[in-house]
């Protein structure tokens, strides 16, 4: 468990890795080893996003499950610097 900034940075890095693997797999759809890497990092990213969303604020709308307050609406907005 790191700080909010560190966790966001790590999520960005894993997300970038997934985008790269996606681009590769779009032209190599039967590459088993690339698929394995994709599945691996995809699971990690889901886990990290979920962890971040529970600890700080929901990063995507499907992570916005709320109790007393609407967490999605309470989350900091991009122009408030929360995504940097």
Partner 1 sequence: MQDYLFDEHFDKYPLAMAYVPWQHFDKMYDDLEKAFHNGTIFPELNKPFTGRRCV
Selected from 27, 69, 78, 81, the binder of partner 1 by CB under 8 A is 27
Selected from 4, 5, 6, 13, the binder of partner 1 by CB under 8 A is 13
Rounded Cα–Cα distance for residues 34 and 21 (Å): 7
Rounded Cα–Cα distance for residues 66 and 40 (Å): 29
Does residue number 29 form part of the binding site for partner 1 (CB under 8 A)?
yes
Scanning the structure block, which residue is given the tokens 């989350």? 75
Rounded Cα–Cα distance for residues 56 and 8 (Å): 10
Provide the minimum distance between the beta carbon of 6 and partner 1 in the complex, in angstroms, as a whole number: 11
List contacts with partner 1 (CB under 8 A): 12-14, 16-17, 20-21, 24, 27-31, 33-34, 37
């Amino acid at each position: 468990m790191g700080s909010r900034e560190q966790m966001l940075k790590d999520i960005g890095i894993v997300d970038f890795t997934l985008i790269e693997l996606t681009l590769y797999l779009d032209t190599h759809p039967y590459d088993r080893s690339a698929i394995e890497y994709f599945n691996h990092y995809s699971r990690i990213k889901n886990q990290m996003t979920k962890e971040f969303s529970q600890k700080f604020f929901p990063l995507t709308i499907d992570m916005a499950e709320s109790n007393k307050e609407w967490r999605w609406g309470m989350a900091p907005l991009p122009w408030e610097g929360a995504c940097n």
